[in-house]
């Protein structure tokens, strides 16, 4: 994302005289944290008050993310209220295509509807009639398998077993799933799962020496580089999977190898990256088994998945998402008054984004200056009348209850 933004800001033909900025938040794969961060981003304050914006002219143009469909739903629920554009690069849940429910969500990855149908066509092509399914126990896995099941049943295919991969570590569950696979006659298994939650099950399958299965891998784990250890490969030989289209991003490799903590001392991401790649620590302070980072380490000498730009898939989706925002802003900037998309051909102001506000839901409208609130008998405190202040008294603002004496 940072590479794409830097590239756009150097491009004189795209968004001339304007620079894109960014803020990066880590959801930590937590819905609660994602919701908190959305409110902080929208309100302009880390200590936020929902539906209150601290900055009159917001510069927030769009939000890119999340990867998880479940978290994207939580984000879209909030962002959709204010009509802030959200572009996900990896959330493939079919439900996210519902524009009534998620009016401002877009994405640079296809819906799983296509993947589920493609798996069904594959099963039909090889005339497999007895198939097992594994679903990560979230909407992505559950809906993916459900759509697959609906499709294959049209072709007379039967589901031998349907197991769910837990989101929290459970040795007993992994053992039970492996036993089910081992005892079944099904030699084809469709797996809709992310890579991290699948790892413990992979270990259990290798431990129980399960072989001879044709695995059908969803895009979330089909191209994962670290999911299989060398001694586990034989258990997954012959795996077939669908993958996100790969592409090449010119200049990205040079950008990555040129990163250095000393060049960007305020960038916490580079320091953390450095510690992980070189297995060192900045200012360790206490005794530790890792050596101290010096800054003399050289990224160009490494062979690392982070630096491998030959298999850009999700990365390309992020890159495309940033450019989608940039081109939309460019179209907004180049809009001619009288030819715009709004009433009377008006154009939007690129320098002042005004998100849609939720509808007002009040019993009584706020009292103006010079009047005060007077409670209505027998009604809740939200219902009141506005009465004029007596001579010599004022209210210092709108919606006030108490009066102040006027000094001349």
* Average pLDDT of span 381-387: 88
In the chain, pLDDT over 90 holds for what percent of residues?
A: 61
Q: Where are the domains of the chain?
A: 1-109+331-361, 112-241, 250-308, 371-405
Distance between CA atoms of residues 349 and 341, nearest Å? 12
Q: What pLDDT does 5 receive?
A: 97
Is the pLDDT at 43 greater than 90? The verdict is: no
pLDDT of amino acid 293? 92
pLDDT of res. 230: 86
117-121, 202-206, 276-280: segment of lowest average pLDDT? 276-280
Q: By mean pLDDT, which of 77-91, 124-138, 261-275, 277-291 is the weakest?
A: 277-291
pTM of the model: 0.79
What pLDDT does residue 90 have?
94
**What local confidence, expressed as pLDDT, does residue 111 receive?**
94
Give 86 or 393, the one with higher predicted confidence: 86
Exposed, middle or buried, 288 (CB in 10 Å: 0-12/13-18/19+)? exposed
How many C-beta atoms lie closer than 10 Å to residue 185's C-beta?
A: 7
- Residue 296: which of 266, 264, 262 has the closest Cα? 262
Element (H, E) at 134: strand 130-136
> Looking at the predicted structure, is the pLDDT value of residue 406 above 60?
no
Is the pLDDT score of 249 beyond 90?
yes
Distances from the Cα of 212 to the Cαs of 57, 189, 202, 206, 329, in angstroms? Answer: 61, 11, 14, 12, 53
- For 141-167, write each residue's pLDDT tens digit: 999 999 999 999 999 999 999 999 999
Among residues 92, 49, 50, 48, the alpha carbon closest in space to that of 73 is found at 92
How much is the average pLDDT of 215-240?
Answer: 90
Under DSSP, is residue 135 helix (H, G, I), strand (E, B) or coil?
strand
CATH of domain 112-241: 3.40.50.2300
Question: Quick check: 290 pLDDT over 60?
Answer: yes
Contact 179, 201 (CB under 8 A): no
At residue 107 the predicted structure's pLDDT band, cuts being 50, 70 and 90, is very high
- Candidates 3.40.50.2300, 1.10.3720.10, 3.40.50.720, 1.10.357.10; CATH matching 1-109+331-361: 3.40.50.2300
Task: Count Cα atoms within 13 angstroms, Cβ side, for 57.
Answer: 4
**Between residues 41 and 406, which one has the greater pLDDT?**
41
Would you place residue 390 in the very low, low, confident or very high pLDDT band (cuts 50, 70, 90)? confident
Q: If you search the block for the tokens 């819905």, which residue do you land on?
A: 31
Mean pLDDT calculated for residue range 283-293: 80
Q: How confident is the model at residue 59 (pLDDT cuts 50, 70, 90)?
A: confident
Q: Is the backbone of residue 83 left (phi > 0), alpha (psi -120 to 50) or beta?
A: left
Listed residue (300, 242, 266) closest to 119, CA to CA? 242
Comparing CA positions, the residue from 112, 125, 137 lying closest to residue 244 is 112
Question: In the predicted model, what is the mean pLDDT of the chain?
Answer: 88
Q: How far apart are CA 94 and CA 242, in angstroms?
A: 17
Q: Do domains 1-109+331-361 and 112-241 have the same CATH topology?
A: yes
pLDDT score for 358: 61
């Amino acid at each position: 994302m940072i590479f794409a933004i830097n590239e756009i800001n150097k491009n004189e033909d795209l968004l001339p005289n304007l620079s894109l900025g960014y803020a990066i938040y880590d959801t930590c794969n937590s819905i609660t944290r994602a919701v908190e961060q959305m409110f902080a981003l929208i309100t302009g304050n880390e200590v936020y008050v929902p539906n209150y914006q601290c900055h009159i002219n917001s510069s927030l143009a769009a939000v890119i993310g999340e990867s998880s469909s479940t978290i994207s739903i939580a984000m879209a629920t909030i962002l959709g209220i204010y009509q802030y554009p959200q572009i996900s690069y990896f959330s493939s849940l079919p439900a996210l295509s519902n524009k009534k429910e998620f009016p401002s969500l877009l994405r640079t990855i296809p819906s799983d509807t296509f993947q589920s149908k493609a798996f069904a066509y594959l099963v039909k092509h090889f005339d497999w009639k007895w198939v097992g399914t594994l679903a990560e126990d979230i909407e992505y896995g559950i809906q993916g398998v459900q759509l697959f099941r609906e499709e294959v049943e049209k072709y007379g295919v039967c589901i031998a077993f349907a197991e769910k991969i837990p989101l929290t570590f459970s040795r007993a569950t992994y053992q039970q799933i492996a036993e089910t696979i081992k005892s079944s006659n099904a030699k084809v298994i469709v797996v809709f799962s992310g890579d991290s939650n699948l790892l413990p099950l992979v270990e259990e399958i290798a431990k129980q020496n399960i072989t001879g299965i044709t695995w059908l891998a969803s895009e979330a784990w089909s191209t994962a580089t670290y999911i299989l250890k060398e001694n586990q490969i034989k258990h997954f030989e012959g795996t077939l999977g669908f993958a996100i289209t790969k592409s090449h991003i010119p200049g990205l490799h040079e950008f990555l190898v040129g990163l250095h903590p000393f060049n960007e001392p305020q960038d916490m991401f580079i320091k953390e990256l450095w510690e992980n790649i070189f297995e060192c620590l900045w200012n360790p302070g206490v005794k530790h088994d890792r050596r101290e980072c010096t800054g003399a380490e050289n990224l160009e000498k490494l062979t690392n998945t982070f630096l491998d730009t030959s298999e850009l898939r999700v990365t390309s989706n992020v890159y495309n998402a940033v450019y989608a925002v940039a081109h939309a802003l460019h179209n907004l900037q180049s809009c001619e008054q009288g030819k715009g998309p709004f009433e009377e051909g008006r154009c939007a102001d690129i320098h002042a984004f005004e998100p849609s506000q939720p509808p007002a839901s009040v019993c009584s409208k706020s009292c103006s200056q010079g009047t005060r609130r007077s409670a209505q008998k027998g009604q809740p405190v939200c219902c009141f009348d506005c009465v004029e202040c007596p001579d010599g008294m004022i209210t210092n603002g709108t919606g006030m209850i108490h009066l102040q004496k006027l000094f001349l």
